[in-house]
Chain A
Amino acid sequence: MGAYETQGFKMDNSGKRVVVDPICRIEGHLRVEVNLDKDNVIRNAVSTGTMWRGLEVILKGRDPRDAWAFTERICGVCTGTHALTSVRAVEDALSIKIPENANTIRNLMQLNLHVHDHLVHFYHLHALDWVDIVSALKADPKRTSELAQSISNWPLSSPGYFRDLQNRLKKFVDSGQLGPFANAYWGNPAYKLPPEANLMATAHYLEALDFQKEIVKIHTIFGGKNPHPNWLVGGVPCAINVHDTGAVGAINMERLNLVKSIVDRAKEFVEQVYIPDLLTIASFYKGWLYGGGLSSQALLSYGDLPERANDYSPANLMLPRGAIIGGKLDKIHEVDLKDPEQIQEFVNHSWYKYADESKGLHPFDGVTEPNYKPEGPNFKGTRTKIDNLDESAKYSWIKAPRWRGNAMEVGCLSRMVLGYLQPKQFPFIKETIDGVLKKLDVPVTALFSTLGRTAARGIEALYCADLQVKQLDKLIANIKAGDSSTANVEKWDPSTWPKEAKGAGFTEAPRGALGHWIKIKDTKIDNYQCVVPTTWNGSPRDGKGQIGAYEAALMNTPLAKADEPLEILRTLHSFDPCLACSTHVMSPDGQELTSVKVR
C-alpha cells in the first residue's frame, strides 16, 4: 500500500519514518510509526499493539460466576468495568434480574471509576503533554496565585503556597535526579502555557496524586479493595444493614456517611480544580485543533448506567447509546451487540489467522488463532528485533473491529457528542458543552480534535461526579423505603441453569464501549469474547485499508521537532490508551497448538 486515500485521509508513506516505542504514560505496550513530509507533517500513521495475553482461552471450561474476576484482571486501570461487563453478560445469558440497590451500587462504583480514571488520566498521564514543568521554575508565585484565584475558589492558592512548591521543584531539579521527569521534552516550542499556568498545573498534579487515593475508597467500601474490587453475579456482595444488630458487618450508616463525604469531595475537586485547569490549558491551546481523526465521522457508544435496574434500553441509560457514521450527526443509529451484522472483527493486518480473512466475525463466533509474523516488503529487522513494521502486511496484536464495516472512535468524545445531540435526555451534557464552547469562544466543530477529546473527558468527569451524589441519594432513599436487598440468588446454583445459554454484557468503560460475549454449556464457559475500547480506537487497518482511530487522529499533524514526539503523545494520550485491554484475548479454536506443547 503506497499512497492511497481512505476515510478522507491521503495516506503517503514515502517520507521519513519515525518510530515511537515505547509510548509511555499509557496502560500496556503500544508502538507508533509515522511518515513525515519535508515540513514534518504526519502523512502516514501506523499504530501497533505490542502485547497479547490470551485470557479468553483461559476462561474456557471455568465457572461463569468466576469470570468477573478473570476479566477484571484484563485491566487494573479501568478496574471493575470488565467485572461489571462480565456479570452483566452472565446475567443476560441466564436471565437473572438484580435488585434495585445492586444496580445503584454498581452505578456508584462505575461512576466512581470514571471520576477517578479521568482525573488520574488528565493529571498524571496527559498533563505533561500540555504542561512544561521546567518552565514552572520561572513563574512568579504572586501572579500564579492571582491566576489561580481568578479561575477558582480552591483554597490552596496563596502566593506562599506556590512559592513553597516552586522552591521544592527548584531543589528537585537541582539535585540532578529527575526521576520520572527526566529526559523529556521540556522547552519544546509546542508547549504554549505561560510559566504561571505551568506552576499552577504542577501544583495540581501533586494535589491530584494525593486526592485520587481518596476517591477509590467507594470501591473499597462496596467491593473490599481497589484496584480490583469484588463483584457478584446476581447483585453485589455487600449486604445492607442500617437498623439492626450486626450492622457493623454490613453497609451501615457510618459506611454511607463515608461514601457521602467522598462523593462530595470528589465533586468539589472536579469543579474547583480539574475543570478550571482544563479550561485554562484549553484557552492557550485552542489554536491547536489537530487530532480529530474519525471523531467527526464515525462515533460509537454502547451506553451505560441504567437508571432503573434490569432495563438496558437506551431511554433508561444515563450514558448514551448509539452510532454515527459518514459524519451524519443528525442520524443516530441503534446499536445491538447481538446483531451479527453490526460488530465484526477483522484480522487482515493483525497477527491472527482466520480460515477466510476476507470476512469479519461477530464476537459470538469469534476465532483467535495467533499468527505472529512480522513481514512485508518494507519490514526492517528480524523476528525478535523490529526496526520498522510494514502496514501493508500484518502489524499488530490488536484486531480490527468494525461497526457495519466502519472503523469507529469510542470513548468520552463519542459519549459526549451523542449526549449533546440528544439534549432532551441529556440536558446536563448539552448545557455543559455549550458553556465550555462559549467560554473558550470556539465553534462546536472544535470538539472534533485532540483538545476536544480531552475536554470531553473533563466534562464527563463533571457529569459523573454530579451523578455520584444523585445515585447515593437514590440508594439512601430506597433503603429508607424499606428495601435492603442486594442480591438475587434464585439462579446462584448452577443446577438451575439451562443446558446451553448465551448472552452479552456491556458497559461504557472510561475509554469507551466495552462488550463481553459469553456462551455457557453444561454450567461451564464454552466461549468468551471481549471487544474492548482500545481494540476500537487502536485498531490497525482492515482489508479495505481503512485506518483506525489512533492512526486517523495522528494524520496531518505537524511536529515542532521531528525528533521529539510531543504532539504524537498528546494526541494518543487524548484517547487514554489501554493496551492490556485491547490486545485480543483468544477464542477456543486454535489455542491448544502452543499451550499444550509448552507445558
Chain B
Amino acid sequence: MTETFYDVLRRQGISRRSFLKFCSLTATSLGLGSAYAPKIAHAMETKPRTPVIWLEGLECTCCSESFIRSAHPLTKDVVLSMLSLDYHVTLMAAAGHQAEKQLDEIKKKYKGNYILAVEGNPPLNEDGMYCIEGGRPFVEILKETAADAKAVIAWGACASWGCVQAAKPNPTRATPIDKVISGKPIIKVPGCPPIAEVMTAVVTYMLTFDRLPELDRQGRPKMFYGQRIHDKCYRRPHFDAGQFVEQWDDDAARKGYCLYKMGCKGPTTYNACSTVRWNDGVSFPIQSGHGCIGCSEDGFWDKGSFYDRVTDIKQFGIEANADKVGGTAAAIAGAGVVAHAALSALKKAKKSDSAEKVTGDN
C-alpha cells in the first residue's frame, strides 16, 4: 500500500506541471539552484510518505501555529500529501485511549522509520510531573518515542534551547530535548517560533534528499541559520551610514533607519528573517519597526533587556566590531553623532552594572 510522494500529489489533483514548479521552488528556497529541481522531482516520484510523530511538552503551541501558516508548500499539502502526520495532539481527531493507541501503533509499525518532531520541552523537576500526558511524565513519553525514531526535529526555541520556561531561574527545570535524548540525530530549528516556510523547507529537504540537512556546531541547518539577520538586513546601509533610530516614532523611525540603538539583536542573531521574512514574505520584525529580540538564539531571555544595545552584552565578540563600524561611519557623518556615541559609552558602563545585578537576584 506504499504510495510514492508523487502518486499522492497526482491523485490530489496536482498537475505534473505544478509538481515540477513546486520542485523548482523548493530547490530555490533551499538555496540549491534550479539545477537541483530534477533531482528533487526524481526523489519525490520514487519515495513513500514518511510517518511523523509530533510531540508537545511544555510549550505555547506557537510552533504548530507557525507550521500551519506555511505558504509554500501549503500545510494542507504537507499534511495530506508529503508526510503522514500520524500523531499531533493539537490537530488529531482522536483523544484519550484512542490517541494513545495510535501512538503505540505507529511506533511499532514504523519502528526506526518515523521522524519525531518535538515542540516544547520536558520539565525534570517534580519527577517530570510539571508536564503530564496520559497520567505520566512527558519526559518518559519523549524518551520512549525517540528510541525508535529515525531522526528527531527540535522545533523552536523550547525544544532547542529551553526558551521562556527555562529562563532564569527555570523553576520547572525545563530542559532542551538534546539533553534527554541520546544516540539520535537531532536537527534544531530554533526561533520563537521558527519561520513557517523554514519549518516546511527543513521537512521537505529531509524527504527529498533522504538525509539530514548539514548542521552547524549547534545543530542548526546551515542553510537557514548560517548567517546573521544583520548580514542580510535591508536596513544595513543605514547602519553603515550611521543613520539610526534614536527614539520610537522619531523622524528616523519614520524613514526606516537602523534599529541598532533601540536594542536590535540582528547583529548577534542567526536566522533567516531578513531574507525569507515572515508569513509568505510580508514583513519581519525590523521591517515593522521593532528590533530583533534574538528569539532563535540560545538563552535569549537572559541577555539583558530587549532594548539594551548589543554592546551591553559582554559575551559576544562582535559587538566591538559593530560599534566600531557604526562609530567610524558616524565620525564621517558629523561631530554631533560622535558626541552621542560618547554618551552611549557611558550608558554602556551603567547598564552592564545593572544587568549584573539582575542576574545576581535570579
Q: Is the interface of B mostly helix, strand, loop or mixed?
A: loop
Q: Does B43 contact A (CB under 8 A)?
A: no
A98 to chain B, nearest CB (A): 11
Q: Mark B52-85, 1 if CB is under 8 A from A, else 0.
A: 0000101111111110111100111001100011
Instruction: Return the chain B residue nearest A175 by Cβ.
Output: B3
Q: Does B217 contact A (CB under 8 A)?
A: no
Instruction: State whether A179 touches B85 (Cβ < 8 A).
Output: yes
Instruction: State whether A185 touches B135 (Cβ < 8 A).
Output: no
Instruction: State whether A22 touches B288 (Cβ < 8 A).
Output: no
Cβ contact of B174, chosen from A53, A167, A185, cutoff 8 A: A53
Chain B residue contacts of A404, Cβ below 8 A:
none
Binds B, one of A213-221, A440-448, A464-472: A213-221
Docked CA distance A176–B3 (Å): 10
Query: Which A216-250 residues have C-beta < 8 A from chain B?
Result: 216-217, 219-230, 232, 234-241, 244-250
Binds A, one of B29-37, B301-309, B332-340: B301-309
Instruction: State whether A216 touches B279 (Cβ < 8 A).
Output: yes
Binds B, one of A6-14, A312-320, A414-422, A480-488: A480-488
Q: Mark A385-411, 1 if CB is under 8 A from B, else 0.
A: 111000000000100000000000000
Docked CA distance A385–B280 (Å): 44
Q: Does A156 contact B (CB under 8 A)?
A: no
Knowing A221-B288, A240-B254, A599-B169 touch, does A25 contact B133 (C-beta < 8 A)? no
Q: Does B88 contact A (CB under 8 A)?
A: yes
Binds A, one of B89-97, B203-211, B318-326: B89-97
Instruction: State whether B254 touches A23 (Cβ < 8 A).
Output: no
Query: Which B79-119 residues have C-beta < 8 A from chain A?
Result: 79-80, 84-86, 88-102, 105
Q: Does B20 contact A (CB under 8 A)?
A: no
Docked CA distance A128–B93 (Å): 7
Q: Does B149 contact A (CB under 8 A)?
A: no
Q: Does B244 contact A (CB under 8 A)?
A: no
B336 to chain A, nearest CB (A): 20
Instruction: State whether A63 touches B305 (Cβ < 8 A).
Output: yes
Cβ contact of A250, chosen from B60, B172, B193, B255, cutoff 8 A: B255
Q: Mark A10-40, 1 if CB is under 8 A from B, else 0.
A: 0000000001111111111101000000000
Cβ contact of A54, chosen from B56, B171, B196, cutoff 8 A: B171
B3 to chain A, nearest CB (A): 6
Chain A residue contacts of B289, Cβ below 8 A:
224, 236-239, 250
Knowing A29-B131, A591-B169 touch, does A62 contact B88 (C-beta < 8 A)? no
Chain B residue contacts of A213, Cβ below 8 A:
68-71, 75, 196, 279-280
B347 to chain A, nearest CB (A): 11
Q: Does A372 contact B (CB under 8 A)?
A: yes
Instruction: State whether B92 touches A180 (Cβ < 8 A).
Output: yes
Instruction: Return the chain A residue nearest B248 by Cβ.
Output: A487
Q: Mark A536-574, 1 if CB is under 8 A from B, else 0.
A: 000000000000000000000000000111000100000
Chain A residue contacts of B214, Cβ below 8 A:
none
Q: Does B247 contact A (CB under 8 A)?
A: yes
Knowing A217-B279, A235-B248 touch, does A176 contact B307 (C-beta < 8 A)? no
Q: Does A154 contact B (CB under 8 A)?
A: no
Instruction: State whether B288 touches A222 (Cβ < 8 A).
Output: yes
Q: Does B192 contact A (CB under 8 A)?
A: yes
Docked CA distance A71–B133 (Å): 24
Cβ contact of A384, chosen from B69, B91, B124, B127, cutoff 8 A: B127
Docked CA distance A73–B163 (Å): 9
Instruction: State whether B62 touches A58 (Cβ < 8 A).
Output: no
Docked CA distance A54–B99 (Å): 28
Q: Does B353 contact A (CB under 8 A)?
A: no
Instruction: Return the chain A residue nearest B169 by Cβ.
Output: A595
Q: Does A276 contact B (CB under 8 A)?
A: no
Total number of residue pairs linking A and B with CB closer than 8 Å: 348
Chain B residue contacts of A386, Cβ below 8 A:
132, 135-136
Instruction: State whether A220 touches B278 (Cβ < 8 A).
Output: yes
Q: How many residues of B contact A (CB 8 A)?
A: 108
Instruction: State whether B65 touches A227 (Cβ < 8 A).
Output: yes
Knowing A29-B131, A75-B60, A209-B76 touch, does A58 contact B248 (C-beta < 8 A)? no
**In the complex, which of the residues B75, B102, B193, B289 has the most CB atoms of chain A within 10 Å of its own CB atom?**
B289
Knowing A69-B293, A74-B60, A213-B68 touch, does A22 contact B171 (C-beta < 8 A)? no
Chain A residue contacts of B102, Cβ below 8 A:
182-183
Query: Which B293-316 residues have C-beta < 8 A from chain A?
Result: 293, 295, 301, 305-307
Chain B residue contacts of A489, Cβ below 8 A:
247-249
Instruction: State whether A580 touches B59 (Cβ < 8 A).
Output: yes
A265 to chain B, nearest CB (A): 14
Chain A residue contacts of B68, Cβ below 8 A:
120, 124, 209, 212-213
Chain B residue contacts of A53, Cβ below 8 A:
58, 123, 130, 164-165, 172, 174
Instruction: State whether A226 touches B69 (Cβ < 8 A).
Output: yes
Instruction: Return the chain A residue nearest B125 by Cβ.
Output: A594
Docked CA distance A548–B111 (Å): 42
Instruction: State whether B278 touches A224 (Cβ < 8 A).
Output: yes
Instruction: State whether A180 touches B255 (Cβ < 8 A).
Output: no
A563 to chain B, nearest CB (A): 8
Instruction: Return the chain B residue nearest A75 by Cβ.
Output: B60
Instruction: State whether B60 touches A224 (Cβ < 8 A).
Output: no
Docked CA distance A60–B361 (Å): 9
Cβ contact of B136, chosen from A62, A384, A580, cutoff 8 A: A384
Chain A residue contacts of B267, Cβ below 8 A:
none
Chain A residue contacts of B132, Cβ below 8 A:
21, 29, 31, 50-51, 386
Docked CA distance A244–B253 (Å): 12
Chain A residue contacts of B126, Cβ below 8 A:
370, 372, 594
Docked CA distance A381–B88 (Å): 26
Chain B residue contacts of A219, Cβ below 8 A:
279
Instruction: State whether A24 touches B306 (Cβ < 8 A).
Output: no
Instruction: State whether B96 touches A62 (Cβ < 8 A).
Output: no
Q: Mark A108-137, 1 if CB is under 8 A from B, else 0.
A: 000000000000100011001000010000
Instruction: State whether B79 touches A179 (Cβ < 8 A).
Output: yes
Knowing A185-B93, A237-B248 touch, does A226 contact B278 (C-beta < 8 A)? yes
Chain B residue contacts of A21, Cβ below 8 A:
96, 132-135
Chain B residue contacts of A248, Cβ below 8 A:
256
Instruction: State whether B172 touches A52 (Cβ < 8 A).
Output: yes
Chain B residue contacts of A125, Cβ below 8 A:
90
Docked CA distance A220–B64 (Å): 17
Chain B residue contacts of A209, Cβ below 8 A:
68, 74-76
Cβ contact of A23, chosen from B1, B61, B95, B273, cutoff 8 A: B95
Instruction: State whether A55 touches B164 (Cβ < 8 A).
Output: yes
A243 to chain B, nearest CB (A): 10
A167-B11, A569-B95 given. 12 additional CB < 8 A pairs?
A: A21-B134, A22-B133, A60-B362, A177-B49, A184-B94, A225-B284, A249-B287, A372-B129, A384-B136, A384-B140, A487-B248, A594-B172
Provide 21 A-B residue pairs closer than 8 Å at the C-beta atoms, listed in order of the A residue: A19-B96, A27-B90, A29-B138, A51-B58, A53-B165, A58-B169, A60-B362, A76-B61, A180-B91, A181-B92, A183-B94, A183-B99, A183-B105, A213-B196, A216-B69, A228-B193, A237-B288, A241-B254, A246-B255, A246-B256, A592-B169
Q: Which 4 A-B pairs have the closest CB atoms?
A: A249-B256, A76-B62, A246-B255, A224-B285
